[in-house]
Amino acid sequence: MGLSSFFSNLFGSAKETAVDFADQAENTFEEVKEASEPIIDSAAEYLEHTKDAVSEYVEKASDSIHDVIDSIKEVITETANEDYKLVTETVVDVSEDGVTDSDSEEEK
């Protein structure tokens, strides 16, 4: 009987130790969970606030970029029109005879 008592005591105490350890681990996990919940909630709230702020700035940046692109298009269009006007004003009609200094002296 001595040997079976030895194993019963050995495994019985091991079982009790394992159960105690599991209980302690569960308690510790619950404590950590309870302690971390406010931090997680706070982080989620901060993340939501950050998301809203970033979205606002993205919209503003997008609008600003569109304004800059529109301004550039206007400047390019105006410059192109001015260049075209300058070119058309300086074109010489070669079908007519040119005016020389001698022609103006003869008219006098």
Coil vs helix vs strand at 85: helix
Q: pTM of this prediction?
A: 0.36
- Indicate if the pLDDT at residue 56 is higher than 70: yes
**Domain residue ranges in the chain:** 14-89
For 10-55, what is each residue's pLDDT tens digit? 666 777 788 888 888 888 888 888 888 888 888 889 999 888 888 8
Structure tokens at 5: 């008592």
Q: What sign does the dihedral 48-52-57-58 (CA atoms) show? A: positive
Read out DSSP for 12-44? HHHHHHHHHHHHHHHHHHHHHHHHHHHHHHHHH
What does the pLDDT read at residue 99?
65
What does the pLDDT read at residue 90?
57
What does the pLDDT read at residue 95?
66
H or E, element range at 96: none
What does the pLDDT read at residue 27?
87
* Cα→Cα distances 81→71, 74, 77, 78, 84, Å: 15, 10, 6, 5, 5
74 confidence band (pLDDT: 50, 70, 90) = confident
